[in-house]
Structure 1
Amino acid sequence: MSENTNNIQKCGCCDNECQRCKHTPRDEQTLRSLQNRLNRIIGQLNGIKNMLDDNRYCGDILIQTAAAESALQNFGYLIFKEHMNTCVVEEIQNGNSEIIDEAVELMRKLK
């Protein structure tokens, strides 16, 4: 995300003010940690695909599927926590109480 001369944050994907981009950037350590987790999840999913290709036992595939689901759920909770601590707080401070409804809907989808 870049800034223009009026200190309005611009989106890196569309080079405009964007409602779908995060205004508070993630610090490098957090970003690296999230990317590492996601890469492990991708590895788990690839492993499940290989298990299918190798005609592995259904129970083994289900165990790995449960592990991948749990890892993805935990990843989602980390993103949600960050969303609450940054995006939601900022929107409430800017007078946008509708963000609470969005947060509740996101929480419902994560369950």
Structure 2
Amino acid sequence: MRRDVFQAIADPTRRAILSLVVVGAMTPNAIAEHFGSARQTISKHIQILTECEVLVQKKTGREIYYHFNPKKMKEIDIWLERFRKMWEDSYNQLDDVLNDL
């Protein structure tokens, strides 16, 4: 089963990993140091993020570094954009009602 970007960000640990890697590329060990979980658990989260193409791995010498892929996160923004207009319209209607009071 192929996972999508929404499954990638559904888990709080994966969102925390993304918050770390967005600042700069990191090795799996460097990522795991920030969590109280077993290294194997963090590796599974990294694997899911990589399968969803939210993280991209690049090998430098003997080390593997994980980089954030902002293009993949654009899918979330595109999906949310459909709702953003609806929310803005609702807020504008509420503003009109409150201004009339």
TM range (shorter): 0.3 to 0.5
Which of the pair has the greater relative contact order for Cα pairs under 8 Å at 6+ separation? Answer: 2
Higher strand share: 2
